[in-house]
Amino acid sequence: MDSIDISAVRADTPGCEHVIHLSNAGSSLPTSQTLEAQIDYLRLEATIGGYEAMAEAAPNLDNFYTASGALLNCSPHEVSFVSGASEAWWRAFLAVDLKPGDRALVGSTEFQSAAFGLMQARNRGVIVDIIPNTTTGQVDVSALESMLDGSVKLVGLTQIAMSNGLINPAAQVGAVVAQSNALYLLDACQAVGQMPVDVEDIKCDFLTATGRKWMRGPRGTGMLYVRDSIVGDLVDPVFVDGRSALWDSTDTYRPVSGSARFELDEANHSGKVGLGVAIDYALELDLGAIAHRVRSLAQQMRIQLETVPGVTVTDIGPDLCGIVTFTTDVLPATEVSAALRQRDINTSSPGASNSRWMFESMGVDAIVRASPHYYNTDEEVDVFVRVLTEVLRDAG
């Protein structure tokens, strides 16, 4: 029996009255608490002024760091507020002192933002090697261990693939990397908010995540975790201002201590407040309970999809999550999602340009992605499968 009061969380989610939202791997429906916190902050800005609102609402703004620390099991000053996972990844990547001849080892599930950065590094003489996968599709930890030597400065991994829900063994990778001199950059964009994520257990040096996905936070928000013990070994941030650095003499400046060095003064302050509220909401429900319900709904969906003519479920891995992906023999993925959207059912249809290394290994150009969250119901899964069946039957 679920420990989450589904009626209560749906009452807290205005969007549940209008759509069957199965696109949580893209952008979840926020709670009314998150929405009102943002609106209240914007009203305060409009009433007393932007700087004045920032000062008066300082405890609400600071709550983002406290809540993020509790979420990731780290110190609040190890977390920076950023605009999203891509900015977080780039800030972490650019902080690593990669020189020509240095090596970076990465998984095959990297998102486009990371792939672009790695291509740029390769053009500068950095050697970028993709870690082989096991027969399950997961990154091969033994192969990684054999590849690690003194030339490897960075290991990058996506914890959950956006293209097929594959869960990589992030903690096992962390244990191996911790025995080397390399830094470990984890893209946890699809994990944070969907399941418990503990940076001490994973032993990552960097972690990137976004607010809008499973965390149910506002768009334009995200977080970057940087382990405090490695900060002294990092390159100074490329983008700095008066929040991230101190102009301490006519010709010199120095980055501030703590997470603020990876932030700029101008930011989405209402979003920052809203994300803190969203994190608190998830923590109160318990991430373990959230993970259990999400996986249960997703498995129910997979079982039903296997019975739909023309549908092929494309999820891989020994440990499946809340991302359910499939193709059809009848319609392209984009047309399936569009047809469902016309019937007030939200899914998405990521294509090869989002994660080309992974899509090419799958042998498909695009997939339909349905990603239920804990506020979805068994009945909504049933309706989704029934309507999908009708769409494909009518198109065939």
Q: Name which of 107, 159, 151, 103 is nearest 130 in CA terms.
A: 107
Q: How far apart are CA 294 and CA 288, in angstroms?
A: 10
Residue 143 lies in a domain: yes
* 12 in any annotated domain: yes
Residues 25-55 have pLDDT tens digits of 999 999 999 999 999 999 999 999 999 999 9
Residues 223 and 307 reside in one and the same domain:
no
Judge if 81 and 183 occupy the same domain.
yes
2 — pLDDT class (breaks 50, 70, 90): low
Q: Are residues 200 and 222 located together in one domain of the fold?
A: yes
Where does a domain end: 260, 284, 308? 284
Give residue 146's domain range.
Answer: 33-284
Q: Are residues 188 and 330 in the same domain?
A: no
Q: Are residues 115 and 254 in the same domain?
A: yes
- Looking at the structure, tell me whether residues 319 and 280 fall in a common domain: no
Strands 20-21 and 368-370: unpaired
Last residue of a domain, one of 250, 284, 318: 284
Same domain, 325 and 386: yes
Q: Give how many domains the chain has, as a whole number.
A: 2
Q: Are 318 and 75 in contact (CB under 8 A)?
A: no
- Alpha carbon distance 292, 306 (integer Å): 21
Q: What is the CATH number of the domain that holds 52?
A: 3.40.640.10
Q: Calculate the alpha carbon distances from 28 to 13, 25, 127, 334 in Å.
A: 10, 7, 37, 19
Looking at residue 358, its pLDDT comes to 81
Any bridge partners for residue 206, and if so which? 185, 226
In the numeric block, which tokens belong to residue 288? 């373990």
Q: Give me the CATH number covering residue 25.
A: 3.90.1150.10
Q: Which of 258, 284, 310 is the last residue of a domain?
A: 284
User: If pLDDT is split at 50, 70 and 90, which confidence band does 148 have?
Assistant: very high
Whether residues 16 and 69 fall in one domain:
no
Q: Is the same domain home to 220 and 152?
A: yes
Q: For residue 184, count other CB atoms closer than 10 A to its CB.
A: 23
Mean pLDDT of 55-68: 98
Instruction: Answer whether residue 49 is part of any domain.
Output: yes
Three-point CA angle 33, 88, 107, nearest 5°: 115
Q: Are residues 93 and 195 in the same domain?
A: yes
pLDDT confidence bin for 14, thresholds 50/70/90: very high
Is residue 1, in this structure, part of any structural domain at all? Answer: no
Residues 15 and 93 in one domain: no
**pLDDT (tens digit per residue) in 151-178:** 999 999 999 999 899 999 999 999 999 9
| DSSP-based three-state secondary structure for 129 | strand
